Amino acid sequence: MALTNKKGYFKNQNKKDKLAVFEIRSDCKAKIIVDWNTGHAFLHINLFQHLFLQQDSMPFGEEVVAGFGAAYRVQTMAIAIGIAFGGAIGLIMNQNIGGTKLDRSYDTFKKGLIHIFGIYIIIGVFVFFASQTIANFLIANAETAQHASNYLKIVGLSYTFMGPMLTTLIVMEQLGKGVHAFLLNFFYFAIIVVLGWLLTNKYQQVEIFYWTISIMNIFSIVGIGYGLFTIKRMLRVQKMKLS
């Protein structure tokens, strides 16, 4: 067993062991950097989406746009949890895959999804019931705060599905399925923008736009199912190659 002094130098180890230790450390450091960059990429995508989604609310006045912007910032903070969780799950899964523990890797993903669903049930319920309090805390103008509250109340509960979807996308990216993750996110975003624009222009009600986002978040369960299927198939193929 390796002994260390206060500065962290290894004693009673041969040169080969030291190289192995530093290789592991280097690999972990690189992985952390990848997770960090991936999370930032998804947050930047979310900002890009916000700019487009805001266009759907602009015909309804400055108060609506400001309320939507404030509510969307709350949403950005909420999804950061799913992104971080996805990076952590992907790291553990890759470690298991590297050790050829493929069944354990898939179990990690399933258990991680169960936990993140639980976390987002709590987040969704909290945002739903505290929507007015959150809006009043963020915004001084009563009318703008009411619009922000409307968005959070309509969309809040759907975070139960949106959060796990983002976790799934991050895990897929970490396992080399970045194109699949990008396409799922792109189509989800495109449908919201186009369908939201068509419906709000037809019925002239901004709440329909909010409901479009909420319903699409619920339908993201399809993307989660696709992620489960894709990852399971990928690990099964890799297991067949090893046998």
Task: Summarize pLDDT for 13-63 with one digit per residue, the tens.
Answer: 443 333 333 333 334 443 433 444 444 445 545 555 555 555 555 556 688
- 172 Cβ partners below 8 Å, 6+ apart? 178, 180, 181, 227, 230, 231
Whether 10 is in a domain gets the answer: no
pLDDT value at 140 more than 80: yes
Q: Could you read off the pLDDT of 197-242 as tens digits, one per residue?
A: 888 888 888 888 899 999 999 999 999 999 999 999 988 888 777 7
**Structural domain contains residue 8:** no
Within a domain: 21: no
Torsion, Cα of 118, 120, 122, 123 (10° steps): 170
Query: Is 54 part of a structural domain of the chain?
Result: yes
Tell me, what's the pLDDT at 5?
42
| Residue at 23 is within a domain | no
In a domain, 24, yes or no: no
| Distance between CA atoms of residues 188 and 243, nearest Å | 38
- Angle CA(243)–CA(24)–CA(240) in degrees, nearest 5? 10
Residue 117's pLDDT band (cuts 50, 70, 90): very high
| Tally of domains within the chain | 1
Which domain covers residue 65, as residue numbers?
33-242
Instruction: Give dist(CA 226, CA 219) in Å, integer.
Output: 12
Work out the number of other CB atoms within 10 angstroms of the CB of residue 211.
Answer: 16
- For the chain, the average pLDDT equals 78
**Residue 81 predicted with pLDDT over 50:** yes
Amino acid at 63: E
- Could you tell me the two tokens for 143? 């009318």
Any residues with CB less than 8 A from the CB of 233 and at least 6 apart, and which?
none
Structural domain contains residue 19? no
Phi, psi of 43 (to 5 degrees): -70, -35
Rounded CA separation 75/126 (Å): 12
For 4, 80, 124, 135, 217, the CA distances from 160, given in Å and listed in that order, are 46, 14, 6, 20, 8
